[in-house]
Structure 1
Amino acid sequence: MAHKQHRTPLLAVIGLALATAAPVAQQKPPAAGSSTSINIPFEHSTMPNGLQVILAPDRTTPSVAVNMWYHVGSKNEEKGRTGFAHLFEHVMFTGSGNVPYGLHDKYTSGIGGDNNGTTDNDRTLYYEVVPSNYLETALWLEADRMGFLLDALDIAKLNAQRDIVKNERRQRIDNQPYGRVGEILSAAMYPPGHPYSWSVIGSMADLSAASEEDVKSFFRLYYAPNNA
């Protein structure tokens, strides 16, 4: 879920922003049975630390998008520890060893850019969209929180983000008509204990039970270059 609070790696995954095509004359729809494919040239490589890098250049736009995808989501949680992946998405915006709290947003907005993050069942994504001449800044921001997040994390920051996530749950699920439909359907569709049987945002009880050491262990296990 997107929000705006929202080990040293090498480069972050780069995806250059795609330019919006100019309007073209109306064309006939494709014939039945035909398929339309989109070809986006890209380069793929693996850094010595295991980080997978995908580069898709587009020199028609002055912007660059840096996307850091971690192979972790709510499916990596377990009963009694739900909501950790999404909670940690929020924690990633609380500052790191060389980027104090608030400066990640300040750096990107100050150069006319944007940043955010989302969590799903299978992955967690963080991104920056900045002018192309600030690519190194965006890469450095992602590198610093991958390598040095725990240097700046404390229980006060965790508690603040925990409260924000709880409030998000109240607003989007608990206090909405039919807000729990998705949770109920997931629990009914998958067997007990299946990693898709609980919601990404987790339960209030599990969020309350998350300790500082739990969150740090989650980071050490999943937030590494060879898992991104």
Structure 2
Amino acid sequence: MRKLLLCLLCLAVLSGCSSARDSDALPQGVTLVDQQLPQPGKVQIPYSKYKLANGLTVILSPDHSDPLVHVDVTYHVGSARESQGRTGFAHFFEHMMFQGSKHVKDQQHFKLITEAGGSLNGSTNQDRTNYYETVPANQLEKVLWLESDRMGFLLDAVSQRKFEIQRDTVKNERAQNYDNRPYGLMWEKMGEAMFPQDHPYSWQTIGYVQDLDHVDVNDLKVFFLRWYGPNNAVLTIGGISILNGHSLGSKSILVRFLKDLR
């Protein structure tokens, strides 16, 4: 059940701020796979890397220099996972991920983050698509909930109307940044010249207009089910991590999320 995603990922965050060396302290279903502890006198980025039972990889990197937390969810899917005649779909889907999910209304993802004093965006290249937010540390729980809801329940909110709006948006983006810009087609022509026609690196992430015209909402749903699962994603959290005003090492919060697993 994908509702477990938020619970498990919060458990990993909780455990990551306590004794990460002690594997017995980790919740069931969470495995520590790598760790870089801070070393005095050395410039480095300390982190702890976990694997959850649902396949999600979680990377925690504490940084107490500012009262902020940054959350990034990277899915291992980009334009190189597309097929000839279905180009531009990874980037198109990036747009759809901001159009609401089962428990989040249309356009509310942006509204909830910006009203909390944060910023957010996403990006797509040949090999990955990522979504990221930077918020005040006490808003971490909200961000994790938003990310888990669109990973687990996006299809419940997908509609033909949203699909058509975002398709037109992507086509207009191509017109502005590629077709109607001086030298805008340079990288597209270079890719076509450097790679065979059916090679996934021969087209740009924006795709071709004729391919966007041929896809429908069912293609989008298939794409989501194929690539947008926890076992194809990495969650990275950096900064000061606080949930509900408590340190993430708090046992009371740990117990609360354990109960939510039922």
What TM-score range do you get, normalising by the shorter chain? 0.7 to 0.9
- Equivalence for 1:131: 136
SS in 1 for 2:62: coil
Identify unmatched segments of 5+ residues in structure 1: 1-6, 15-36
Identity %, equivalent residues: 52
Residue 91 in 1 paired to residue 96 in 2? yes
- Alpha-carbon distance, 1:38 to partner: 5.0
- Equivalence for 2:255: none
Aligned residue type for 1:128: E
Deviations 1:6-29 (A, max 9, x none): x33232898xxxxxxxxxxxxxxx
- Alpha-carbon distance, 1:227 to partner: 0.2
- Equivalence for 2:165: 160
Runs of 4+ off more than 6 Å: none
RMSD across aligned positions (CA): 1.4
Aligned residue among 196, 200, 206 for 2:201: 196
Aligned residue type for 2:163: L
Aligned residue type for 1:167: N
- Equivalence for 1:120: 125
Decide which structure has greater helix share: 2
Aligned residue type for 2:200: P
Once residues 188 and 65 of structure 1 are traced to their aligned partners in structure 2, the CA distance between those partners, rounded to angstroms, is: 39
Aligned residue among 52, 55, 59 for 1:47: 52
Once residues 57 and 137 of structure 1 are traced to their aligned partners in structure 2, the CA distance between those partners, rounded to angstroms, is: 19
SS in 2 for 1:56: strand
Decide which structure has greater strand share: 2
- Alpha-carbon distance, 1:103 to partner: 1.1
Aligned residue type for 2:44: N
Aligned residue type for 1:218: F
TM-score by length of 2: 0.74
Identify unmatched segments of 5+ residues in structure 2: 14-41, 234-262
- Equivalence for 1:107: 112
Aligned residue among 138, 145, 157 for 1:140: 145
Deviations 1:95-128 (A, max 9, x none): 0000011111111011110111000000000011
Once residues 224 and 214 of structure 2 are traced to their aligned partners in structure 1, the CA distance between those partners, rounded to angstroms, is: 17
Deviations 1:65-90 (A, max 9, x none): 00000000000001100000000000
